[in-house]
Amino acid sequence: MGKLVVLNHPLIQHKLTMIRDYRTGTKAFRELVDEVATLMAFEITRDLALKEVEVETPVAKAKAYEIAGKKMGIIPILRAGLGMVNGVLQLIPAAKVGHVGLYRDPKTLKPVEYYVKLPADISERDLIVVDPMLATGGSAAAAITSLKQRGGVNIKLMCLIAAPEGVKAVQNEHPDVDIYLAALDEKLNEHGYIVPGLGDAGDRLFGTK
């Protein structure tokens, strides 16, 4: 089973509380999601492989380290996942960004892809799928399946808040995928919202209703 990691760094938790607050407006909400995504990216990249290199300082030659050259891809699930992209790019500016768009078929209630555009070499990249809310897990699991069908192999999922139902769904379908969260909340309500959650992440990011 993949890892389930709740990132309880004080800065992440403090900013998440501000994100949850219903009084936080669109501008601050967007900035805070950006900041938390950066902080989460710091933690999620903790296990990147390093290689030893030599560097010449003004004083002497030194043995030093650099990232071993694995390429990265960030995959936001449309629409709310877009809110986490720039925060991750702050730390991994050379990452490529792919997009997966899904909607829920009103009859079957199953997620249906309406847009997929990915870097050509996704099989050679470490992929981070980003979506602020892991609710039922339907979209995240479908997005990950979509990546795997196109050659994606090394996939992590990064969300701000999850419901236990969503974690279970992704773990069942994709036991190879590590999940990183800022919080694991209590449950889903009858409307599919995470409780206590933060409301509709897409609407709060983009100022829609």
Positions marked catalytic: 104, 108, 200, 203
Q: How far is the CB of 18 from ligand URA (least distance, A)?
A: 17
202 is in an annotated binding site: no
Residues 6+ apart with CB under 8 A from 21: none
76 is in an annotated binding site: no
* Cα gap 32→11, rounded to integer Å: 11
In the chain, how long is the greatest CA-to-CA distance?
A: 69
* Cα gap 133→202, rounded to integer Å: 9
Would you say 173 or 200 has its CB closer to ligand URA? 200
- Residue (of 120, 209, 132) closest to 166 by Cα position: 132
104 is in an annotated binding site: yes
152 is in an annotated binding site: no
What 8-state DSSP symbol labels residue 45? T
Would you say 15 or 125 has its CB closer to ligand URA? 15
Would you say 122 or 170 has its CB closer to ligand URA? 170
Would you say 2 or 199 has its CB closer to ligand URA? 199
* Residues at the contact surface with ligand URA, assessed by CB under 6 A: 80, 133, 135, 192-194, 197, 200-202
Give the H/E segment covering residue 171. Answer: helix 164-173
Supply 45's token pair.
Answer: 């990249």
Supply 71's token pair.
Answer: 């390429």
In the chain, at which residue ranges do the beta strands (DSSP E only) sit?
4-6, 50-56, 61-67, 71-78, 96-97, 99-104, 111-117, 125-130, 133-134, 154-162, 178-184, 187-188, 194-195
Q: How far is the CB of 191 from ligand URA (least distance, A)?
A: 9
Q: How far is the CB of 49 from ligand URA (least distance, A)?
A: 34
137 is in an annotated binding site: yes
Q: What are phi and psi of 117, to 5 degrees?
A: -140, 115
Q: How far is the CB of 135 from ligand URA (least distance, A)?
A: 4
Binding site, by residue number, is 79, 104, 131-139, 194, 199-201
Binding site for 5-phospho-alpha-D-ribose 1-diphosphate, by residue number, is 79, 104, 131-139, 200
Binding site for uracil, by residue number, is 194, 199-201
